[in-house]
Amino acid sequence: MGLGYIGLPTAAMLAARGHAVLGCDTDPRVVKAVASGQAHFREPDLDSLLAAALATGRLVAQGAPRPAEVFLIAVPTPLGPGNRADLSAVWAATDAIAPLLKPGDLVILESTCPVGTTEALAARIAAARPDLALPMRGVPAPPGCVHLAHCPERVLPGAMLRELVANDRIIGGLTPGCAESARALYAGFVTGQCHVTDSRTAELAKLAENAFRDVNIAFANELADIAIGVQVDPWAAIALANRHPRVAILAPGPGVGGHCIAVDPWFLAESAPEGAPLIRAARAVNDARPGHVAAAIRALARPGAAVACLGLTYKPDVGDLRASPALAVAEELSRDGTLRLICCDPLLAALPPPLAGRPGVVLAGLESALAQADVVAILVAHRAFRALGAPALQGRTVLDAVGMLVAAV
Ligand SMILES: NC(=O)c1ccc[n+]([C@@H]2O[C@H](COP(=O)([O-])OP(=O)(O)OC[C@H]3O[C@@H](n4cnc5c(N)ncnc54)[C@H](O)[C@@H]3O)[C@@H](O)[C@H]2O)c1
């Protein structure tokens, strides 16, 4: 259920390993693209895996599910109002599969979700299907019950196919029997270890991973702001601090993007409505960062200046724009029309909203962008930019928000 960044590689992988897979997506454009062998997003080697899976006839894409032995839910779980998880897609997928379930079927929730969601999913199925036996946390599984597990994903976009197989997996069953059922499925293609636990621990562990990243990035970003304020090069100071054997400060940047690290900490905070001050503060620090970077660029540019924004996506060598801080920086710079923005991103074919159509904003190739720019802002260290090297930018006014030139030295 869901053929996005997580669901499609997983479906293709399972089909390549011999399973008959029905890939379901409510977006007809996604179904059409997948059925024609075209992934609707860029991911190295995915097109060839998809082509191989389709050629076997074991992968079929369509809009609605059919009866199966295993149902794997990988639908979006974005932030809703009040920074609470919007689980509407999870419930829609649950409602679509509930009428199809038989005793012994396995339902796996891969979507990242707040603690307790797998139990809520079981309760929802139980309400829709009083004829079925459902597992309950801490209670021995009744005979013939449907199995339920939370098996979160931790793949790295850009290396998904490798990590889908090589990463360790957390397998959180509602009961030990549920976990064993899910473990058997993943053991068929995962070479990393499958760590079996209960569903709540699995949900919390996944959220902890991304909150850990967010909090540590926030520390690096806050440190960068402090360093710049006292005329110290943050990169130099962090490099020196990291010579301590027990210190490993992360790299500062223009903020935190994508729809995981910037979102999942809120799901953790949701579990502690009156608490989690550190997690909430980290979110605020990282959310404020694009504004700080934009202000630093403005300080270097006179009115009417041409600013080359190198990179718009949310991370290097990935075409994903979701919650991109680089895009937020460019948007902020374009807002009042006092600057000319020459955006350059080798992973984009056109200017994305909200930049598309804005007066004074264009998308250009790297050479053209550098030729026209009064100020060069490095916002994402894409491979094409890394290949430039520091000498190509010598003598230019550069704001390096990601430390790309430091890394190149
Ligand atoms: N992308 C990542 O790197 C990543 C990593 C770890 C975890 N996750 C988590 O995995 C989940 C899926 O993320 P994604 O990046 O694959 O999302 P995505 O937006 O790329 O894909 C989700 C797909 O689900 C489809 N969909 C929505 N509602 C549906 C429904 N009711 N039935 C069937 N299909 C439906 C959408 O049309 C879309 O194609 C999220 O919870 C996310 O937080 C993502």
Question: Could you report the per-residue pLDDT of 276-318, keeping only the tens digit for each?
Answer: 999 999 999 999 999 999 999 999 999 999 999 999 999 999 8
Please work out whether the CB of residue 89 comes within 6 Å of at least one atom of ligand 1.
Answer: yes
Residue 399 has pLDDT above 60, yes or no: yes
Range(s) of the domain holding residue 377: 288-409
Ligand 1 atom nearest to 154, measured from its CA: 6
Residue 340 has pLDDT above 60, yes or no: yes
Domain end marker among 173, 189, 207: 207
Please, which residues have CB within 8 angstroms of residue 247's CB and are 6 or more apart in sequence?
241
Helix 199-229 / helix 234-241 crossing angle, nearest 10 deg: 120
How much is the pLDDT for 310? 98
25 Cα: distance to centroid of ligand 1 (angstroms) = 10
Please, which residues have CB within 8 angstroms of residue 206's CB and are 6 or more apart in sequence?
112, 150, 152, 154, 170, 264
CA dihedral in degrees (41, 47, 53, 54; nearest 10)?
Answer: 80
> What's the CA gap between 35 and 23, in Å, rounded?
9
Q: Does residue 85 share a domain with residue 186?
A: yes
Residue of 296, 362, 282, 363 whose CA lies nearest to 332: 296
Please, which residues have CB within 8 angstroms of residue 16's CB and are 6 or more apart in sequence?
49, 52, 53, 56
For residue 408, name the pLDDT band (cuts at 50, 70, 90): low
Question: Which residue type does 227 have?
Answer: A
Q: Does residue 202 share a domain with residue 293?
A: no
Q: Does residue 328 share a domain with residue 195?
A: no
For residues 345-355, give the mean pLDDT: 96
Q: Specify whether the CB–CB gap between 145 and 133 falls below 8 A.
A: yes
For residues 233-237, give the mean pLDDT: 94
Residue 403 has pLDDT above 60, yes or no: yes
Beta bridge partners of 307: 341, 375
How much is the pLDDT for 389? 77
Domain count, the chain: 2
Phi, psi of 139, rounded to the nearest 5 degrees: -120, 135
Q: Specify whether the CB–CB gap between 85 and 113 falls below 8 A.
A: yes
Ligand 1 atom nearest to 160, measured from its CA: 3
Q: Does residue 152 share a domain with residue 33?
A: yes
> What's the CA gap between 351 and 333, in Å, rounded?
15
> What's the CA gap between 105 and 133, in Å, rounded?
11
For residues 143-159, give the mean pLDDT: 93
3-state class (DSSP) for residue 289: helix
**Active-site annotation holds for 206:** yes
Q: Does residue 158 share a domain with residue 51?
A: yes
3-state class (DSSP) for residue 171: strand
The CATH number that applies at residue 351 is 3.40.50.720
Q: Does residue 322 share a domain with residue 173?
A: no
* 115: in domain: yes
Query: In the predicted model, what is the mean pLDDT of the chain?
Result: 95
175 Cα: distance to centroid of ligand 1 (angstroms) = 25
**Active-site annotation holds for 343:** no
How much is the pLDDT for 121? 98
Cα 81 → chain centroid: 20
Residue 409 has pLDDT above 60, yes or no: no
* 247: in domain: no
Phi, psi of 85, rounded to the nearest 5 degrees: -65, 135
For residues 84-92, give the mean pLDDT: 98
Domain end marker among 207, 235, 251: 207
> What's the CA gap between 284 and 339, in Å, rounded?
27
Phi, psi of 307, rounded to the nearest 5 degrees: -110, 120
Overall residue count recorded for the chain in this entry: 409
Please work out whether the CB of residue 397 comes within 6 Å of at least one atom of ligand 1.
Answer: no
**What percent of the chain has pLDDT above 90?**
90
> What's the CA gap between 72 and 305, in Å, rounded?
51
3-state class (DSSP) for residue 60: strand
354 cis-preceded (ω within 30 degrees of 0): yes
Ligand 1 atom nearest to 90, measured from its CA: 31
For residue 42, name the pLDDT band (cuts at 50, 70, 90): confident
151 Cα: distance to centroid of ligand 1 (angstroms) = 14
* 130: in domain: yes
Please work out whether the CB of residue 316 comes within 6 Å of at least one atom of ligand 1.
Answer: no
Residue 160 has pLDDT above 60, yes or no: yes
- Is the four-CA dihedral 336, 340, 345, 348 of positive or negative sign? positive
For residues 119-129, give the mean pLDDT: 97
Residue 407 has pLDDT above 80, yes or no: no
* 276: in domain: no
* 232: in domain: no
Residue of 279, 258, 282, 261 whose CA lies nearest to 270: 279
Q: Does residue 72 share a domain with residue 194?
A: yes
* 240: in domain: no
Q: Does residue 159 share a domain with residue 44?
A: yes
10 Cα: distance to centroid of ligand 1 (angstroms) = 11
> What's the CA gap between 6 and 8, in Å, rounded?
6
> What's the CA gap between 405 and 391, in Å, rounded?
9
* 319: in domain: yes
266: which DSSP letter?
H
Domain end marker among 150, 185, 207: 207
* 219: in domain: no
How much is the pLDDT for 273? 85
Q: Does residue 401 share a domain with residue 293?
A: yes
